[in-house]
Structures are given as structure tokens and as C-alpha cells.
Amino acid sequence: MDDITREVLNIVVVGHVDHGKSTVIGRLLYDTKSLPEGAIERVKKIAKEKGKPFEYAYLLDAFEEEQKQGITIDTTQLQFRTDKRDYVIIDAPGHKEFLKNMISGAASAEAALLIIDANEGIQEQSKRHGYILSLLGIQKAYVVVNKMDLIEYSEEKFQEIKQEMNEFLNSLHVFPLKYIPISAFHGENITMLSDKMPWYKGQPVLQAIDFFEKDKGLEGKPLRFPIQDVYKFDNRRIIAGRIEAGTLKTGDQILISPSNRVTKVKSIEYWAAQDKKGSASAGMSVGITVEDEFFNQRGEFISHSHDAPVTADIFKVSLFWMGKKDLVKNKEYKLKLATQEVECEIYTINKVINATTLATLEDATSVQTNDVAEITIKTKREICFDEFKNNQNTGRFVMVDGYDVCGGGIVTGLVTERQAVSTLSKQDAEMVVHCFDEYYYVFAEGGIKKIQATPRSFTIGDTIPTTGMTYAYPEDFNVLDRNKNLVAKIRKSKLEDVISFNEYQYDAKPMIDTQGSYIRINSAEKFKKFTRDLEKLRQGEQLTLTTVANQWFEFMEFRQIRYLTVDKPLTIEYHI
Amino acid sequence: MDHLDRLEAQSIFILREAYKKFGKLGMLWSIGKDSTVMLWLAKKAFFGHCPFPFIHVDTTHKIPEMIEFRDRKAKEYNIELIVHKNEEALQAGMGPDKGRLLCCKALKTDGLQQVVTKYEFEGLILGIRRDEEGSRSKERVFSERNKDSEWDYTNQAPELWDQFKTDFPKGNHIRVHPILHWNEMDIWTYIEREKIELIDLYFAKNGKRYRSLGCAPCTGQIQSKAVTVAQIIEELKTTKVGERAGRAQDQEDSYAMQKLRKDGYM
């Protein structure tokens, strides 16, 4: 049963149009005896019909149009094997207008061969493809310099190309592991070292590819389990999805983000008896049941509490654009990241990069087809993700314009100049609060104005400004964050704890929301009813926020509104 | 995870995406090995349930054992089965004697199109694989068809990082291909590992067996002594004959499958 345990590696072959990608692949298939009997005959028949000599490239051009144009219009997947393992080889079109097909192919690859024509040298698409490899996070790449026969197998010319390409790729943080001079047409340096290039001391292509090492260690990364769907086919309520990183075990305490709820894994479900297991890890499509049956939905991330993903609605990305229409500001796009889908807008275009010259445009107002850009994206609601450098699977996304995927990108960073706010936090549990803001009636404006408190972060043990100019909370109270499902306990005017709402038990202390509104709860029974209403609100069952707020919230309980004659730019300092 | 575990996990992910995204979804079941593996994967994906109907486009020229196996397994697996025939074409006397490609177009392509229209399917799950033949190798996992089931293969949307095409105009449908990334050997080693019951036409009788199943008049047998899945795996390791060499419609002309598939063939 060695076939079952054999390793498989996906390799994409990229490069400028006519630099010989299809010939290289055709040759690899031929030399590894991977072609079915019919294929060669069929292609020879076609070549004969067209009055052309047989070429290895024809093996790949399955479509009529391709053979007419002599270009590969889409990605093709072919397979061959060496002693070490099986390969799935992805041929990606080199023509500029087929960039979207090149990306579709390359996105599933673990390693890449970048083909350069020795005679023509580095061309526009050689560089663009190099750039895209870096954006796709494909670090394992060889540069294959083809058509060496056309330059008399010259070492000097080979070294020139190597140096030029290396400079370009290194600036993109792509470091090709090898440069291999070949002639695919004549079969030089494909299976055996060529006697035409005795100066080359490396391996021929077929031996060199066995040196690519497969990615390992996704299982050991922090757990990322995006919910794909929730099934209730029978009495089980199964949360289904694919584990993108890490390992999950029965009994694990898990955090569900961004709703911030904590529960435990009750079971890992299965149908076929052989699939029964107590733990599951990266790459597996699984289903679990949990102890607390919250309302879960597609898009939420399950992680371990101590290693939660980032939750934010604004972040920096690198992106390549393939849309027919330009990517512009002030327009809504759909962003898909793992199983999340959210409306988003371009917040700022920081830089547009010409992927060929690496020339940058700092004041661009749009991103055009085949451009690469650094932008800041604002999503309509908070989503979960990781920076690409920390986790590839949860750090990349696509953007949809109309019906089609038009862009792909990776999250490169968070926006550090966050809108300044006050927070109450304990380790990862953090709530943003507005309860220390002051409200004045401003004569000059004829209305009520909120003046934001100086942003401050309070952690456990910090003294809280319970009394301000226009508010006065008791010494002991609780703050509820509905969105994050957290409760902060203030005792003797100090932040004592921040806990999950699910862990909170009614303690007869007054509770306010993050805006400072008193919540009309004065008994355990009322607390129970309020909890039920919150859950209904969350599930969108009849109750609206207006109904809930008017029934339960009292804005003026701990506040008063004072008067100001002018609207002077005030900052309020805490009086602690 | 080994190679087969990865293939299985990816297929289950695709099936679940299809189920989540399409209100009206059906799976094509040709009774052959590939779609029978897919049925098995669906049972795994949905924990023993099959939350969508299975469709068999019956050309009436199928090998009789296939119909018997179909009805028996449908009961055993507890699945909802839609059997559809292009009655109009059959009454007009359509058959391979009218021309193989014409017959495939009428009884399979048009038959399938009728099912899509009748049940208003938004998503159709098919068990095609990239290694089967050239035009299939260029497929997307979620591949759009217009209202006439036509495939614009020159202008396919990008597909990357398992973010599939789920937005499309009303009237169009998506062909979902959960085992696109498997090859013939993967299918057989998986059948062996999972002990999936197959129709016995795949196993040699009197020195012959079917390697690929289709309609009786257009499907040839190969010389073989393989009577178990393990023996078939051994046989495949040494063969240089294409899997679909016994399928007459593929050989009609150099671009037969491309032409058929552009018009909506499986």
C-alpha cells in the first residue's frame, strides 16, 4: 500500500509567454513515462492534421483555441512521479491577459518553477509572476533558464540572468533556492546532467525538485477552526468546518470569536466507524458538538482562549487586482476570508506598485487590472483573521466585485493608530467603554454634545474614575459589553475582574452598559429575563435593539447634563 | 494525515460549501466508481445524512446491471433519487446509430439540462476529475454555466484559496466538482481503504472488465484478470492505456469532449 502513504507535492510552472513552460512540462511527463498511451498518438494526429511537427507543448494544449494561438489559456494539472514522491504539476498561462488563470493555478501550489528564456532574458511577466509568487507566499522556488541551446549553452549569459533575477526576487523576499540551465526541447539537464553544460554543478530538474521540502508543522500552530456550517440533521447539533491550523481535542476549552464566548468540546462527530477520534488537526474537515449550545454561525472562529485570532474591522493588506473594473474608493466590495463574508471599502490606497518595474505610485486613487497595491481595508463589522506572516490560511482573502472574484490579498498588518478609546481589560479580554464620556448642553449649538474622555486603558487593580463632571457611578458596579459578551467588575472603584458574560452570576450590584446606561436589573429573576432577551436579540428573533434598550436601559440614572456657554475644545481629565 | 486523508478532507469541504451556498442542490450519480465515491464522501460530510437529491440521467442504453445496482444502493444509503430520461428524444428514436456525439448531446447533455430547468437547480455536484481528459483538466471547482448550461471556458473567474464562485445571475447554475483533484489511482486506493461497495462490472469476468462505465453500445471492456480492488490497483500501476480509451464518444474527433462539454455535458 505504498501508494497511499506516498507524498504528493503541487508545483506550479510560471513564466513569460513563449518561454517554454508547456515544453518543460511536456518533457517532464514524457521523460517520467507519465503519459497515457493515447495521448502521444492523439497529439501526433492533431499535429499532422495541422501540418506541424510534433512538439511536447501540444500535450498540454487541450483546447482548440490554444493550439491556434499557441498559448496555454488556463491552468492544467498533470501528474508524474519520481522515486521520492508524486507530483501534481500546474501549468499556468504566461500571457498577461490570463493572469487570473495563472493566479488560480499558482494559488494551490507549494513550490514553483519560474521559467526564463535564455535568449530573451527577463521579461515583463517573469517579474510579475515573481511578484505574485511572493504575494501567494510561495517561498520554495527554482528559476529554470530554458532554451540554453539558443545561446550556445553560455555560462556567462546564464550568470547574467541569474544575477538580474536574483536582485529582483530578493527585493520581494523571494529567495530562489536554485538556478538551473536547461534546454527542454533537446532534453538537456532534465533527467540527467547535460554534457553540453559541464560548468553547471547542480542537479538536473527531475532530481532538483525532489529537494523541495513540504511544509510541516501546521498542527502545532495556534488552533484556527472557522465555522463552515451548523447541522441539525438529527438530535446532534454539529458545528462543521475545516481546521486551518492547530489541533483540537475532546474536552478542550474553546473560545468562539468575535462573539467571545467560551465553552468546551463535547465530542468529535463521525459517520464511518474508522473515523472515530478524540483529536483533530490542521487540514481535517470535522464536526464537533459543544457543551453550551450558543447560537453559532458560519464565519465565527473557534480557537483556544489563550491564542485567539485578531478581531478588527480595519487592517492593512497587500493585494493584486484582476478585475475588469478598477478597484476604487467609496465603493462596496465583498470580502471573503476563511468562511467569513463581509462588505468592505477601501479606507486608503497607500501605494500602487507596478509589478514589473516595482515603481511605486504614492498618491494613486485607483488600482488597475494586474496591479499590485498596498491598501487599508475597512470592513462593515469586525472579522477574525491573523497576519499572513503568522498564519497563511487565515491571513489571506479574496475580494468580489459584482459576481466575480477580482482580487486576492494578504493581511500585512494592523492599523496601529487606532481610534483612541478607553478600555477595560484583563489579558486578551478587552472592552471599549464610553461610560466616562461627558455630556453637556451647549448653548452655542442649541443641543447636547458628547465630549470624549481622555483615552485610557484600565487593567486589573487600576482605579476607575467613578465620578466625573456629569456622571457618578457607585463604588461597586458592573459594566456589560453586549457585543463582546464580557462583564467588567468594578469593586471599591477598582477594576477587579473582566469575565465572560456566561460566567457572570447575578450579584445584586448595579450594571451599566459600555455607554454608561443603567440596566434595570434588580433581581436574579430579572437578570434571567434580560439574558433571554439578549439572546433573542442576537438571534434576530422579533426583538430589536430599540425595544430591548427602551425596556431595559436608563441613560440618566447615573448621569446629569450640565450646561456650557460655548463649545470650547475641552479635554476632560479624570479626577481620581 | 496522509494523501487520501487530504483528498477526502478537501472534498468534504467542497461538498459542505455547496450545501451551504445553494438552496437548490443536487448530485449527479452515474452509478460509476467516481460518483459512488462521491456519495460516500457526502455521507461523511453530513454525518450519515444526504441533504440533497441524487440525479441519474438515464439514457435507457445503460448496462442493465447498473440500474439494478442503482436501485438497491439508493435504498441502502437512504437517498432521494431523481431518475430522468429525455423522453422526447427517445420517442424520436435517438440512439448511437444516429451519431455518437448527437446521441450524447440529446440523451445526456439535453437530458441534464431538462433536469436543471425542471427542478431549478442552482448547484449541481458532479464527479469529474482533472486527470480524465483535457477539457476537464481546465475546470474550476465551482464552475458557472449559463441558463442553457453552456460553459464559457475562455473566461472563467479566478478561483483561489478555496474561495469559490458563489455569486452569479439568476438562471445560471454552478457545477460543483468535489473530486476534481483526485486521480484514477486515488479513487481506487480510497475504495480499497474505505471498503466501498462497487458495481461488479468493474471486476473481471471471462478475462474482461470495464474500466470506465457508460452506455452499453459505446463502452468497451479491457482485457483483465483483476477480480478485486487490490488487483485493479496493481493493474493500473503498469497500464499505459488511458482510462477513457474504452469510451467511444471521446474518440469521435480530436475535440469531441471539448465540444460536448462546452454545451453542458458532464
DSSP A329-352: SS--EEEEETTEEEEEEEEEEEEE
**Which of B1, B43, B153 is opposite residue A284, by nearest beta carbon?**
B1
Q: What's the confidence (pLDDT) of residue A218?
A: 85
Contact A405 B1 (CB under 8 A): no
**Residue partners of A322: CB distance under 8 A and separation at least 6:** A99, A100, A103, A369, A370, A405, A406, A407, A408, B158
Question: Would you place residue A65 in the very low, low, confident or very high pLDDT band (cuts 50, 70, 90)?
Answer: very low
- Cα distance between residue A77 and residue B129, in whole Å: 10
HEC string for chain B: CCHHHHHHHHHHHHHHHHHHHCCCEEEECCCCHHHHHHHHHHHHHCCCCCCCCEEEECCCCECHHHHHHHHHHHHHHCCCEEEECCHHHHHCCCCHHHCHHHHHHHHHHHHHHHHHHHHCCCEEECCCCCCCCHHHHCCCCEEEECCCCCCCHHHCCCCECCECCCCCCECEEEEECCCCCCCHHHHHHHHHHHCCCCCHHHCCECCEECCCCCEHHHECCEECCCCCHHHHHHHHHHCCCCHHHHEHHHHCCCCHHHHHHHCCCC
Q: What's the confidence (pLDDT) of residue B95?
A: 83
Sign of the four-CA dihedral A69, A75, A79, A85: positive
Q: What is the pTM of this model?
A: 0.75
Interface-testing mutation among B129, B144, B163, with chain A (most A C-beta atoms within 10 A)? B163
**Is the per-residue pLDDT at A576 higher than 50?**
no
Nearest to A465 by CA among A430, A435, A421: A435
**Is the per-residue pLDDT at A98 higher than 80?**
no
Q: What's the confidence (pLDDT) of residue B133?
A: 73
Mean pLDDT of chain A: 85
**Residue partners of A207: CB distance under 8 A and separation at least 6:** none
SS3 A153: coil
Task: Judge contact between A276 and A233, C-beta under 8 A.
Answer: no
**Is the per-residue pLDDT at A8 higher than 70?**
yes
Mean pLDDT of A529-539: 88
Domains of chain A: 2-211 (3.40.50.300), 218-307 (2.40.30.10), 310-414 (2.40.30.10), 422-562 (no CATH)
Mean pLDDT of A488-501: 94
**Which of A42, A104, A397 is opposite residue B159, by nearest beta carbon?**
A104
> Which chain A residues touch B37 with a CB distance below 8 Å?
none
- ipTM, 2 dp: 0.91
> What backbone phi and psi angles, to 5 degrees, belong to A546?
-60, -50
**Distance from the A465 Cα atom to the nearest Cα atom in chain B, whole angstroms:** 48
Q: What's the confidence (pLDDT) of residue A5?
A: 64
Cell numbers representing residue A419 in the block: 481610534
- Angle, vertex CA A133, rays to CA A128 and CA A137, nearest 5: 145
Contact A283 B245 (CB under 8 A): no
Nearest to B125 by CA among B180, B44, B70, B66: B180
**Is the per-residue pLDDT at A327 higher than 50?**
yes
Q: Render each residue's pLDDT in chain B as its tens digit; 266 residues.
A: 888 999 999 999 999 999 999 989 999 998 999 999 999 999 999 999 999 999 999 888 888 889 999 999 999 999 999 999 898 888 888 888 888 888 888 888 899 999 989 999 999 999 999 878 777 877 889 999 988 888 887 778 888 899 999 988 888 999 999 999 898 889 999 999 999 999 999 999 999 998 888 887 888 888 889 999 999 999 888 877 767 766 766 666 656 777 778 887 88
- Cα distance between residue A258 and residue A308, in whole Å: 10
- Cα distance between residue A22 and residue A62, in whole Å: 11
Please write the tens of the pLDDT for every residue from A135-145.
888 888 999 99
Contact A74 B138 (CB under 8 A): yes
A 10 A CB-CB count for A142 gives 21
Mean pLDDT of A354-361: 72
**Is the per-residue pLDDT at A182 higher than 90?**
yes
**Is the per-residue pLDDT at A95 higher than 70?**
no
**Which of A5, A38, A229 is opposite residue B2, by nearest beta carbon?**
A5
Cell numbers representing residue A285 in the block: 474537515
**Distance from the B242 Cα atom to the nearest Cα atom in chain A, whole angstroms:** 5
Question: Would you place residue A370 in the very low, low, confident or very high pLDDT band (cuts 50, 70, 90)?
Answer: confident
**Is the per-residue pLDDT at A46 higher than 80?**
no
Task: Judge contact between A551 and A532, C-beta under 8 A.
Answer: no
**DSSP label at A458?**
E
Class of residue A53 by CB neighbours under 10 A (exposed 0-12, middle 13-18, buried 19+): exposed
Pick the most confident of A412-421, A459-468, B148-157.
A459-468
- Cα distance between residue A503 and residue A93, in whole Å: 56
Interface-testing mutation among A50, A405, A406, with chain B (most B C-beta atoms within 10 A)? A405
Mean pLDDT of A191-195: 91
**Is the per-residue pLDDT at A64 higher than 70?**
no
Cell numbers representing residue A350 in the block: 497607500
Mean pLDDT of A127-149: 87
Q: What's the confidence (pLDDT) of residue A111?
A: 92
Is A283 near chain B, with CB under 8 Å? Answer: yes
- For chain B, where do the domains classified as CATH 3.40.50.620 start and end? 3-183+254-262
Residues 231-250 of A with CB under 8 A from B: 231, 233-234, 236, 238, 240-242
**Residue partners of B84: CB distance under 8 A and separation at least 6:** B55, B56, B57, B58, B111, B112, B114, B115, B118
Q: What's the confidence (pLDDT) of residue A63?
A: 44
Question: Would you place residue A72 in the very low, low, confident or very high pLDDT band (cuts 50, 70, 90)?
Answer: very low
> Which chain A residues touch B178 with a CB distance below 8 Å?
none
Residue located via cell numbers 448531446: B105
Residues 18-77 of A with CB under 8 A from B: 33, 35-39, 42, 45-46, 49, 62-65, 73-77
Question: Would you place residue A20 in the very low, low, confident or very high pLDDT band (cuts 50, 70, 90)?
Answer: confident
Q: How many CB pairs under 8 A join A and B?
A: 169
Question: Would you place residue A59 in the very low, low, confident or very high pLDDT band (cuts 50, 70, 90)?
Answer: low
- Cα distance between residue A279 and residue A10, in whole Å: 27
SS3 A535: helix
Q: What's the confidence (pLDDT) of residue A456?
A: 80
What homologous superfamily is domain B3-183+254-262 in, according to CATH?
HUPs (3.40.50.620)
Nearest to A285 by CA among A241, A248, A249: A241
A 10 A CB-CB count for A194 gives 19
**Poorest-confidence range of A154-158, A441-445, B141-145?**
A441-445
Mean pLDDT of A159-183: 88
End-to-end CA distance of chain A: 73
Pick the most confident of A210-224, A498-512, B235-249.
A498-512
**Residue partners of A276: CB distance under 8 A and separation at least 6:** A270
Q: Which residues of A529-565 are buried (b: 16+ CB within 10 A; e: fewer)?
A: ebeeebeebbeeeebeeeebbeebbeeeebbeeeebe
A 10 A CB-CB count for A256 gives 24
Q: Which residues of B117-131 are buried (b: 16+ CB within 10 A; e: fewer)?
A: eebebbbbbbbbbbb
**Distance from the B157 Cα atom to the nearest Cα atom in chain A, whole angstroms:** 6
Mean pLDDT of A23-39: 78
Nearest to B103 by CA among B56, B136, B133, B61: B61
